[in-house]
Each structure stands twice: as structure tokens, then as C-alpha cells.
Structure 1
Amino acid sequence: TVEFSRLTPDEYIVQFLVGKFHPRCVVIGYDHRFGLNRQGDINFLRWYGKELGFEVVEIPKQEVDAIAISSTKIREALLRGDVEQALRMLNHPYLLIGRVVPGNGIGKTLGFPTANLQVSDPHKLIPAEGIYAVRAHFEGRSYQGMLYIGRRPTLNQHPEKVIEVHLFDFDQNIYGEELQVEFLHFLRRDASFANLEQLAAQLARDREAALGFFRRQAEIPGKA
């Protein structure tokens, strides 16, 4: 809220952090700033910790590929579709959780039935538009697949972004069910095709590209 954003570092600690949560220990990133105009830092927090009786633990700087890890860099990687870089920084695949809702059924007519996902968290960051190799989890089992994020330019009927996942070797009615989807590899950007036949041909190539990715992963020890 606007009021919350105007809290000074002192007010943030006394009124919000201590007043609401009464912490014994506060864990903070090495470069985290807080309070009005980002004036508060870890040294400021440590001083208050001594005064108010809580410990402050610093998360040290971490680097992946010589890049300092931060939530901003993770978001930037996801927004450009670099889910593998995000995986290295997070140390696990980026995950979306959504409920399967009815779609228009065109994927099924093309030979690629999809589950249309309505993401559970409205504030969840959605990666860049395009096609991804993914692993989905449903009822305790994992399934390989490919996922589409975009506005269906070939169909020219969806100004809003949609998320559709096609699972390999899967044939169940899962409307209303929850899927957990891990982003593993970016395949290509979204594109418009002249007709549905061209779209179907590209989806077949996407499927082969995704399966090729999973075959390569299976050859890496510990990645199968």
C-alpha cells in the first residue's frame, strides 16, 4: 500500500517487523534495502536487533556463471525466456501451479490436445511468450511435455495471454484439476502461421525438439 511504502526504516522495523511478527531471528540478503527511499540496510537492522532482541543472519552474495544472484536477475531471466539460467540461480526449476480450465479444443483437432492453465497466484510471474519443454506433476506422477505461452496469433482470437500445456503419452480428462509445471528449456519464440496445417507441422517439430531435450537430459548422470 501507499502507507506501507512510506514507512521509514525505523517505522518498518518497530511497527511492522517487530510489532506484527516479534521475530527472534531475521534472515536478510546481503544487498537488501528497506524503508522509505530504501534507506535501511543490514547494518541498520543489526543495530535494532541488538536493541530489540532479535538476531540478524545475512545471506551472503551468491554467484552463478559469474553473475551475482538476485530476485531481479531471476525475474529478468524468466522474462526473456531463459528458464535454464533461472534454474541455475534458483537451484530448482521455475514452477507454475494452475487449474485446468476448458479451452477451444483446437489443439485436439491438430493432434496436440492441451490443458489450458489458469494460474492460481494472480501475482505469479509468467515467463516470456514462447514454447518450452516442461515437466508436469499430476496425482503423484510426472509427465514430460511442452508448454505454450502467448496470444495465439495464428488463430487471431486471444488478445489476452494464454498458457497451454501438451503432455506426452497422456490421455486423461483433467478439467478442474491442478497441475504443477516445471520450466526446463526454452524451445522457440511465439510465431504466426498462415494456416492451421503449418501450425500443426511446427507443433510436430516442437514435440521432436522437446523429446530431444529430454533424451539429452537422460544421458546426463542425475538428470533423468
Structure 2
Amino acid sequence: MKIIKNIINYSEHKNSAVTIGSFDGIHLGHEKILKKLKKEAIKDNLLSVIITFDPHPRTILKNEKSIKSINLIEEKKDILKKFKIDIVVIHPFSKSFSKLSSLEFTRDILVKKFKIKKLILGFNHSFGKNREATVMDINKFSKELNFQLIEVKAKKLNNLNISSTLIRNYILNGEIKKANLNLGRSFSFSGIVVRGFGLGKKLNFPTANIKIENNKKIFPKSGVFFVHAIIEKKQYFGMMNIGNRPTLNRKKKSIEIHFFDLNMDLYGEKIEVFLNFKIRDEIKFSSLKELQKQIIIDKQRCINYLSKL
């Protein structure tokens, strides 16, 4: 898979099949589109090409600086590799780019630059200035500019259209099982293990304190979660607390993980953590002893779950 930064750097001579979108989360709905893209490209000996954007268009168009991504751009690249797409173009979305009309984008970029023969889009896709062009408009362009438009129907789960917005809401609200079902895999994040206050060790539940270096990533609100990580090619399960640790009257949000059966120094290591489900909300306990009792209960719940796998 070839990565090209910025549309202006695309210079392939072969005709292409293209899909366009933010592809945040690369969920089961996106997967349906990407598989169709690959199939259509192979059928007519075309390059399979994804045009995606960084930052997320909504941060520019609607000034939604608070929008967090399910996948950061490096995570997105890694996930896309499994689809064996020929080329992924990551374009820096900007206000000037957003002012291109749908006709200009289709004619000057897709047709002239990308030599498009097939355009594969989701059922509700729109693009161009103010998202002016619907699938119906793009279908009209396809006839005038000699390419085929293929519309992929929505992927549904429990009678709801799978979407990045829906999944972001699930993650934010701690509905991890629902998020994972829509993603088709476990939601994950990466961070560096740093030193904490050592309280977990005193409670006989040593924790890995995780520092997140990119604040664009979405995280659930406070709570305790059942998680796993792959460390030195081995899978370890554990419990993660995200929150302000109210029992200790802390104000700064932190991420701490107690891994079961892990006995190694992780300080300074970058690890990827996968969320399985939420155990409970974060609670303020009357004492550290009460907190310790609850942690024992939480761990037993996780062990009981593992015994059923």
C-alpha cells in the first residue's frame, strides 16, 4: 500500500477506482465500501485508491475543535493495510480546499488527475463546497465525464446504520461492546507507560500509568474497563481506570491499568490497549480499604468472564 501525502503529489498514469471519505474508525460500513473498491478495481485492472483527509473536515468546516477521532492517522494507515488497497492519498483538509465546487473536484481532480473510471461511495455521501453534491448529482457528473458511479448501501446493525458518529457516541458513553460490534474489532489506543504515585502497588494492585501523547483521540468518560494488551507477543488481560480518582481527591484525569499475571517493568514502553467492556462507573469510596475491596470484586468479575471464553 502506497501512501501519498496531498492530492497534488498524485502522479499515477494508470486509470483508477476511487473512494473518498474521512473513514474515521474504519468500521464495518467502511469495510463494505473498501471491499467493493478492491473488487471493482481488480475486475477492470484499475488502481484502487482511497482519498482521505487529515484533519477531520468537521474541525475546519464547522470549527468543531472538540471532535475526537476513533483512529489517529497512523492507526488508520495500519488498519487500511489489511484491505490491500493500492494507494491511500491523505490530503490536508483546509478552508480553501473546501471551497472547490463539486464539479471542479470531480472534473479537475477525480477525472483529470486521478483518471477515474469508477467512483465507489457510501449511500449518503456528498462533497463539494457546502457539501452541495448528493449521490444524484454525482451520478449526473458520471454520465457527463465518462466514469461509473457505484453506490454502496448502508451497513446496518440492530436496525441502525453503522456510522462513525454513532461509534464515537458509544465510546464516549462507555458502551464499548456496542462500539466494538460496529467497528468489527476492539477499540484501542496507544500510550507510554510512565511512573505514577505508587498507590496501586500499596493496595496490592500495581498499575501501569499511561501517558497519551495525542489529544485528538477519543476516550470514554470516566469508568473502570476490562481490557487486554499484546506485550512482547503475549496477550495480557487487565482492568483499566479512566478518571480523576475521586477517592484520592485528584482533579487531573489519568489512565491506569492493572494487568493480571504480568510481572515485568513496562516503564518507558509504548503499548496498545484494547477495550473489551465497561465494568462500572468511577466511584468515590469512603476509604482506601473500601476501594481495595471493590477492586477485588472487579477483578473477580473479569476472571469469571475469562473462564467462560
TM-score by length of 1: 0.83
Check conservation: 1:115, 1:166, Cα contact below 8 A.
yes
1:41 aligns with 2:129: no
Residues 175 and 14 (structure 1), Cα distance of their counterparts in 2 relative to 1, 3 Å cut: farther
Give, in angstroms, the shift of residue 140 of structure 1: 1.2
Structure 1 residues 140-180: Cα deviation after superposition (integer angstroms, max 9, x where no partner) = 11111111111111111233x21111110001111111111
User: In the alignment, is the contact (CA less than 8 A) between 1:87 and 1:93 conserved in 2?
Assistant: yes
Percent identity over paired residues: 34
Please give the per-residue CA displacement for 1:104-133, whole angstroms capped at 9, x wherever unaligned.
Answer: 111111111111112354311112320111
Contact 1:136–1:179 (CA under 8 A) maintained in structure 2: yes
Cα RMSD of the aligned pairs, angstroms, is 2.5
Whole-angstrom CA distance in 2 between matches of 1:111 and 1:82 = 29
Mapping for residues 10-159 of structure 1, pairs under 5 Å:
10-13=103-106, 26-49=119-142, 56-159=149-252
Spell out, residue by residue over 1:41-95, the C-alpha distance to the aligned partner (whole angstroms, 9 max, x if none).
Answer: 3333444456666654433211111221111111111111111111111111111
Relative to structure 1, the CA distance from residue 12 to residue 83 in structure 2 (aligned partners, 3 Å threshold; closer, same or farther) is farther
Change (3 A) 1:31 1:156: same
Paired position in structure 2 for 1:204: 296
The alignment status of 1:215 with 2:307, answered yes or no, reads: yes
SS of the residue 2:246 aligns to: coil
CA shift for structure 1 position 102: 1.8
**Which consecutive unaligned segments of at least 5 residues does structure 2 have?**
1-93
Going from structure 1 to structure 2, the CA distance change for 1:30 and 1:190 (only over 3 Å counts) comes to same
Cα distance, 1:15–1:95 mapped onto 2, change above 3 Å? farther
SS at match of 2:169: helix
8 Å CA contact 1:100, 1:118 repeated in 2: yes
Deviations 1:18-45, CA, capped at 9 Å, x for gaps? 7887766554322133344332333334
Give me the whole-angstrom Cα distance separating, in 1, the residues matched to 2:117 and 2:241: 44
- CA apart distance, 1:134: 0.9
Structure 1 residues 37 and 172: CA distance shift in structure 2, 3 A: same
**Which runs of 5 or more residues in structure 1 are unaligned?**
219-224
Q: Secondary structure of the residue that 2:124 maps to in structure 1?
A: coil
TM value normalised by structure 2: 0.62
Q: Distance in 2 between matches of 1:22 and 1:120?
A: 39
Structure 1 range deviating more: 54-63 or 168-177:
54-63
Whether the 8 Å CA contact 1:49–1:55 is kept in 2: the answer is yes
Are residues 176 and 37 of structure 1, via their aligned partners in 2, closer, same or farther at CA, if it must alter by over 3 Å?
same
- Residue 205 (structure 1) shift: 1.0
What is the rounded CA distance, in whole Å, between the counterparts of 1:47 and 1:146 in structure 2?
Answer: 53
Could you say if the C-alpha distance between residues 104 and 6 of structure 1 is closer, same or farther in structure 2, counting changes exceeding 3 Å? farther
| Segment of structure 1 superposing worse, 175-184 or 30-39 | 30-39
| Alpha carbons 1:138, 1:178 under 8 Å: kept | no
Aligned to 1:176: 268
For 1:21 and 1:8, locate their aligned partners in 2 and report how far apart those are by CA, in whole Å: 17
What secondary structure does 2:167 align onto?
A: helix
Change (3 A) 1:194 1:60: same
